[in-house]
Amino acid sequence: MRKVSDTITRFAAMRGERVFSQGPDRLSDLADFGANPGALRARFFAPENLPIGAPLVVVLHGCSQSAAGYDHGSGWSRLAAEEGFAVLFPEQQRANNPHLCFNWFVPGDVTRDRGEVFSICQMIEAIVMKHGLDRSRIFITGLSAGGAMANAMLATYPELFAGGAIIAGLPYGSASTIPEAFDRMRGYGGPSSSELQQRLVEASRHQGTWPRISVWHGAADNTVAPSNTDSIIAQWQGVHGVNADPTRGETVDGHIRQVWCDSTGHELLEKYTVASMGHGTPLKTGGTDGLGNTAPFMREVGISSTRRIADFWGLTNGHATKYSKLETGSGRSDGAKALCTYSASENARAVRTDKEERPRDRSRRPEADIGKTIEDALRAAGLMR
C-alpha cells in the first residue's frame, strides 16, 4: 500500500486539473428522476423523431470531465442521431468528489440500491419511461473512473444491461479506500481473479444471462495500469463460462483485439489493446467514419472506440436487435421499473439514509483512522473542503 504522503501528492497533482468541457453542449437535463441518493446530475440526448422502442446507451465521463465535454469528444450523441437511439449521461458533482470522479471504490456508492449506482438506476428508469425505450436494449460505457463505475453498474444491476464497455477502468470490488484505489490504479495488489469473480456474483442475485463486455485500454497508460484490463476480463470470464485464453485474436485498425466466444461462436467478451496510447478514450476523427473530437483524455489513435463498441452491441449497420436481453433469454422486460422506483416514503428514507448515515457509516469502518488522517491532511493542504 502507498504511503499517506504519496496519496496526498497524487491528490495535489490532480488539484491543478480543470473541468474539460470543450465544444457545444447538445444535452438536455433530466429532472425529477427519483430520490437520487448519490446526488448526481442527469443529462441526455434524444434524436428528433426517436422511435418508440429505441435502444439506450448510458455514458459515464472520466475525472475532470463534464457530460457535455465527454459527449463532444466521444461523439456518442452524433452516433445516436445517425443510428436512432437515446443516450443518458449521468454527471458527477463537485460536492460528491472534488475532481468530478465517480466514486467507483466507495462501498456506499457501488452497493446495489445505494448511492451513485442507485441514482443511475433511477435515471435509466426515468428516461426509459419518458421516451418509451426498449428495456431489453440498454447498454453502458465509461472512461477511467466512469469506466470503473460502469463496471459497478454492470455488477450491481446486470439484469438491466444487454452489454457494457469499460475504457481504462478497473474491476468491480477491487478497492474500498482511497489508498487502495490509488494502488489498484497503479497496478499494485488487489484481489485474485477468483475473488474478483466472487465479488461480481455477490453484487446481485442475478440468475439470468449476463451482459456482453467490451474492454479497452491504452498500452502506454501511466494513470490506470493496463493490467487492470486483464483483471476485468478475468472477473467476467467466470459468469460467462469461457476459457482463460481468448477464442481468437486479430488486428483492427492497427490495434490488437482478442475475443472470447461461447460454444456456439457468439462473442461474449472482447479486449482491445490500443498501441502506444496513454490514458483516455480512443478516437478516429478523420475520414468518412470519423467521430468525435480530440481533447484532454480523448485521443486520436486511428480507431473509434465509440463506433466499435456500438457495433459490438449490435447498434449499428441495421443490427440494432442483434444482442437484446430478451433474445438472449435474460428474463424480465420490466426490470428497470421494478428495480429503480420507490414509494414516496421509501424515497424519503433512501435520501435520508445516504445523505445522513453515509458519513457515520464511513467513520465506523476499520480503515476510518487512516481515512481521517488522509482527509485531515488534504484539508490542511487546501485539497478538500
Q: Out of 16-20, 99-103, 233-237, 267-271, pick the least confident.
A: 16-20
CATH number of 18-358: 3.40.50.1820
Give CA angle at 314 (312, 315), nearest 5°: 110
Sequence-separated (6 or more) residues with CB below 8 Å from residue 179:
1, 2, 4, 7, 370, 374
What is the average per-residue pLDDT within 101-112? Answer: 98
pLDDT tens, residue by residue, 62-83: 999 999 999 999 999 999 999 9
What is the average per-residue pLDDT within 311-322? Answer: 73
Told to judge if 144 belongs to the known catalytic residues of this protein, a careful annotator would answer yes
What is the average per-residue pLDDT within 116-123? Answer: 98
pLDDT score for 266 = 96
Is residue 352 over pLDDT 50?
Answer: no
Which of the pair, 362 or 65, is modelled with greater confidence? Answer: 65
CA dist., res. 105 & res. 150, Å (int)? 12
CA dist., res. 316 & res. 319, Å (int)? 6
pLDDT score for 24 = 83
- The Cα-based distances of 250 to 203, 255, 257, 258, 298 in angstroms read 33, 8, 5, 6, 24
Q: Please state, rounded to an integer, the average pLDDT across all residues of the chain.
A: 85
Catalytic residue, from 21, 74, 136, 144: name it: 144
Torsion of CA 92, 97, 103, 109, to 10 degrees: -80
pLDDT tens, residue by residue, 131-179: 999 999 999 999 999 999 999 999 999 999 999 999 999 999 999 999 9
Which of the pair, 273 or 323, is modelled with greater confidence? Answer: 273
Which of 231-251 are b and which e, b meaning 16 or more Cβ less than 10 Å from the residue's Cβ?
bbbbbbbbbbebeeebeeeee
Domain-by-domain residue ranges, the chain?
Answer: 18-358
pLDDT score for 324 = 52
pLDDT score for 317 = 73
pTM assigned to the model: 0.85
pLDDT score for 325 = 58
Evaluate the CA torsion angle 363, 154, 77, 253 in order and state its sign.
positive
